[in-house]
A and B are shown apart, each in its own frame.
Chain A
Amino acid sequence: MDNFLQIESVGMTFDTKKGEFVALTGINLAVRKGEFVSLIGHSGCGKSTLLNLVAGLLTPTDGGMILAGREIDGPGPDRGVVFQNHSLLPWLSCFENVYLAVERVFGAAEPKSMLRERTHAALKLVGLSHATDKKPQELSGGMKQRVGIARALAIEPKVLLLDEPFGALDALTRASLQDELIRIVAETGATVLMVTHDVDEAVLLSDRVVMMTNGPAATIGEILEVDLPRPRERLALAANARYIHLRTRVLEFLYQKQFKAAA
């Protein structure tokens, strides 16, 4: 399917105290099934807004979106969201956090033993089988983010939405989680829309990098096809001419064409 997720002339205008604020305008994007697309742009350009529109947490003031042949109206468990700050419920263990989502989506059709199995499988996928019964506050930032990913994936969403999932992590943890995400996406064939402000992250993980212009009234500036073969190796790519070229293209967009907002 060539346009599994279709965003059609979407615009978002917020009503603020100072009047109307046009955050996004004329966004057109079609994402293929199994594709990994990242959104990159300067802070405040509207990346989170676009992701929240797809998540259904916001309703667009213009245009519409279709996911797997159905119009998106409101949030729903066919989209798995990984929030920027993990958003795990602190009074639930890792298992219970994931189970909450699994139970909601599969609880009507499957017995409890199946639900538990799904939960364990999701935690295993992100390498956290040993931390099943830990509470979020006993985990490192990277581990919390893994639980967030497990929770989003456990419900077998049509599309996985990630909002700067590794933004709050140190560089080493971030790199290992990026590798992990590459592996998970390869294993599950998930369709992914990821917000990031990290150029290397965008190029390393994506099939396409969507570069957004600065707000207000931000829109898609350019789309870069990342034609690097998979599996991708972080170390091997560091010296790869094609990788360096693509990376430079994104940097040029961000720091030459869209320089203003960097101030």
Chain B
Amino acid sequence: MTSLAIANRDALTLVNSLPPRAVSHPAAPALAASAASAEHAARAATRQRRARAPEWVREITAYALGLVIFVLIWAVVASISGSIPGPAKVWVAAVNIFSDPFYQKGPNDQGIGWNVLSSLKRVGIGFGMAALVGIPLGFILGRFKFLSDMAAPIISLLRPVSPLAWLPIGLLLFKAANPAAIYVIFICSLWPMIINTAVGVQQVPQDYLNVARVLKLSEWKVFTTILFPAVLPFMITGIRLSIGVAWLVIVAAEMLTGGVGIGFWVWDEWNNLKVDHIIIAIITIGTVGWLLEQALVLLAKKFSYA
């Protein structure tokens, strides 16, 4: 699911990053053919270029238009179904909810801010532990073929398992909802961290290692100046995949475990039949997930050496 999301995102950026000239090129020969005059075509092309708004204005317009269309479709669906609240009703509820996101009335009734933060905290802890285990393990598996061959069947077998299938084991082990949810995040974040780090280590160019060999650099120097920086982009990809999956999974896990958290809140509002709040939760989850992704893309850009 995540890889699909990433493929989609890449496709989007690909379209976005097409230079304006590449877009206008196919039109130019057509113009020339129909007008049968190169000069005419050139003039038409200049006029077209002058009339075009700056790239970022067109982008923002497109984004806004997309959102408007989405809201319109939502309004239509809402008015047909009758049970789904429309944009206006949700907007009013959202203004109300976000005017006091950090209220606290007992353990099961807290503001949306607290719910989001406690979900993020679980993701942070679970992911952090997965990174602590997964990155060193990835380095070891990437370095020693025998160990990676040993690990291959285990990873292949466990990786396709839905993280939620681990929840009962977590409840059994920890006898409490919160650590069980963190443990599920740990499990689902672990595989991308291990696999991406290991692949990164295996793909360190031999040229770089030859430089180290010729200079007879110490093991520590090789690790800090060559291995680690070379593997870093792969690790960031692992982090991106992990966090993406973790944010998907935490909502589901919290629906099952209860407590405080955005997933639990969705379930709670369903029990209260407050569908407008569920829609607010969905939009909030999407926004937070998008922000996480953007932050990690920024991080990845900072450490790519293409």
Partner of A77, one of B210, B215, B221, B305: B215
Is residue B225 within 8 Å, beta carbon to beta carbon, of the partner chain?
yes
Question: In the assembled complex, which residues on chain B have CB atoms less than 8 Å from the CB atom of A77?
Answer: 214-216
**Which residues from A are CB-within-8-Å of B217?**
100, 104
Residues of A within 8 Å of B, CB-based: how many?
A: 23
In this complex, what residue of A is CB-closest to B207?
A: A87
* B229 near A89: Cβ-Cβ < 8 Å: yes
Q: Are B213 and A75 in contact (CB under 8 A)?
A: yes
Structural contact, B305 and A85, CB atoms closer than 8 A: no
Closest to B305 in A: A90
Contact partner of A104 (CB less than 8 A), chosen from B207, B216, B226, is: B216
B98 at the interface (CB under 8 A from A): no
A80, closest chain B residue (CB): B214
- Contact between chains at B216 and A89 (CB < 8 Å): no
Residue contact B214 to A100, C-beta cutoff 8 Å: no
Once A104-B215, A104-B217 are accepted as A-B contacts, the answer to whether A137 and B306 lie under 8 Å apart by CB is yes
Cα separation A63 to B217 with both chains bound (whole Å)? 27
Interface residues as binary, A188-230 with B (CB distance below 8 Å gives 1, 0 otherwise) = 0000000000000000000000000000000000000000000
> Bound state CA distance, A57 and B212, in angstroms?
11
- CB neighbours (8 Å) of B211 from chain A are 83, 87, 89
B174 within 8 A of A: no
CB pair B215–A89 under 8 Å, yes or no, is no
- Write the B215-233 contact mask toward A (1 if CB under 8 angstroms, else 0): 1110001000110011000
A101 contacts across to B, CB distance below 8 A = 215
A83 near B207: Cβ-Cβ < 8 Å: yes
Query: Which of A77, A83, A89, A90 has most B Cβ within 10 Å?
Result: A89
- A89–B213 touching, CB < 8 Å: no
Residues of A65-115 at the interface with B, using a CB-CB cut-off of 8 Å, are 75-77, 79-81, 83, 85, 87, 89-92, 100-101, 104-105
Q: Is the CB of B225 within 8 A of A76?
A: no
Residues of B within 8 A of A45 (CB): none
Residue in B210, B215, B230, B305 whose beta carbon sits within 8 Å of that of A100 in the complex: B215
Min C-beta distance of B224 to chain A, whole Å: 11
Known contacts A87-B207, A87-B208, A89-B225; is-contact A79 B214 (Cβ 8 Å): yes
CB-defined contacts of B208 to chain A, threshold 8 Å = 87, 89
A55 at interface, CB cutoff 8 A: yes
Task: Write the chain B residue with the least CB distance to A84.
Answer: B207
Q: How far is the CB of B83 from chain A (nearest CB, A)?
A: 56
Given known contacts A87-B208, A89-B208, A89-B225, A137 and B214 CB-to-CB distance under 8 angstroms: no
CA distance A80 to B213 in the complex (A): 11
- Tell me the complex Cα distance, A81–B209, Å: 13
Report if A75-B226 is in contact (Cβ < 8 Å); known contacts: A83-B207, A87-B207, A91-B305: no
Q: Complex: how many Å from CA A107 to CA B23?
A: 55
> A91 — which chain B residues lie within 8 A by C-beta?
229-230, 305
Q: Are A83 and B210 in contact (CB under 8 A)?
A: yes
Provide the bound-state CA to CA distance between A92 and B228, in Å.
13
CB distance from A161 to the nearest CB of B (A): 9
Residue of A75, A85, A90 near B214 (CB, 8 A) is A75
Q: A57-B210, A83-B210 are in contact. Are A75 and B229 (CB under 8 A)?
A: no
Residue of A55, A76, A85 touching B207 (CB-CB under 8 A): A85
Chain B residues whose C-beta falls within 8 Å of the C-beta of A105 in the assembled complex: 215
Contact with B along A161-190 (1 / 0, CB 8 A): 000000000000000000000000000000
CA distance A135 to B306 in the complex (A): 11
10 sample A-B contacts, Cβ–Cβ < 8 Å, listed by A number: A56-B214, A75-B214, A80-B214, A83-B211, A87-B207, A87-B210, A90-B305, A91-B229, A137-B305, A155-B215
Known: A76-B214, A91-B229, A137-B306; 20 extra A-B contacts, CB below 8 A, are A57-B214, A79-B214, A83-B207, A83-B210, A83-B211, A87-B208, A87-B211, A89-B211, A89-B225, A89-B226, A90-B305, A91-B305, A92-B225, A100-B217, A101-B215, A104-B217, A104-B221, A105-B215, A137-B305, A155-B215
Binding site for A on B (CB under 8 A): 207-208, 210-211, 213-217, 221, 225-226, 229-230, 305-306
